[in-house]
Amino acid sequence: MQSSRQELLRLLASKSFRLGEFKLSSGGTSDYYIDCRTTTLDAKGARLTGEVFRDEIRRRGWKAQAIGGLTLGADPIVVAVSVVSGDLNGFLVRKAEKQHGTGQRIEVFREKGARVVIVDDVCTTGASTVQAIEAAREFGFEVVGAMCLVEREEAKGRPSVEKAAAPAPFVSIFTARDVRTEHVAHMDDTAPVIFAVAAKCEICGRPAATNIPGNRCAAHKV
């Protein structure tokens, strides 16, 4: 039987990961796109996400009272972990303070001094995680850890998050490379070989010799 972690990785690879050419919010481009919400808002994916985050928080002995993060990416994770754990409260961090009502930025759980974990779905530049950490501390929470579901290592956002979180640690459940490897490994390999034109190998970047399964060079084709 697969562990919750293995099942979650498999689901991310099949539901959330796509190869191609995509424009990033930074203005650059990438040969892959990952939208974790298609997994964290999936019924099975939500349960697995909750279990994996809960287990990691307990394994690290953070003794957290609540988890939260910047809306919108963190929202499904916060709910999933709260439901699965049964004892971790959830809070949401608005991108800006409300201009009406109470005008608060931290929503729902608001116990000053509480030990909290900041969560996010994808860490690219790390900006959303950093915003959530800063808002949590400004409110009066004690940040004991920061976590993301998938870290895009090539974007080099880790140093910014680690600096903002310190002395609390920053943990990624998976890297984008983990998800990509799982995605490529389980692509359909039953179709006939079709030779690729002007394409690069998904694994090493060399010229592709086939695009079934996926763009592969001679060394990596199945």
pLDDT (tens digit per residue) in 140-187:
999 999 999 999 999 999 999 999 999 999 999 999 999 999 999 987
Distance of CA 129 to the CA centre of its chain: 11
Task: Give the CB-side neighbour count of residue 171, counting CA atoms within 13 A.
Answer: 19
CA distance 37 to 72: 9
Yes or no: say if 202 and 216 are a contact pair by the CB < 8 Å rule.
Answer: yes
CA distance 161 to 170: 7
**In DSSP terms, which residues pair with 90 in a beta bridge?**
67
Q: Using the predicted structure, report yes or no on whether residue 195 has a pLDDT greater than 50.
A: no
Q: Using the predicted structure, report yes or no on whether residue 3 has a pLDDT greater than 70.
A: yes
Predicted local distance difference test score (pLDDT) of residue 24: 76
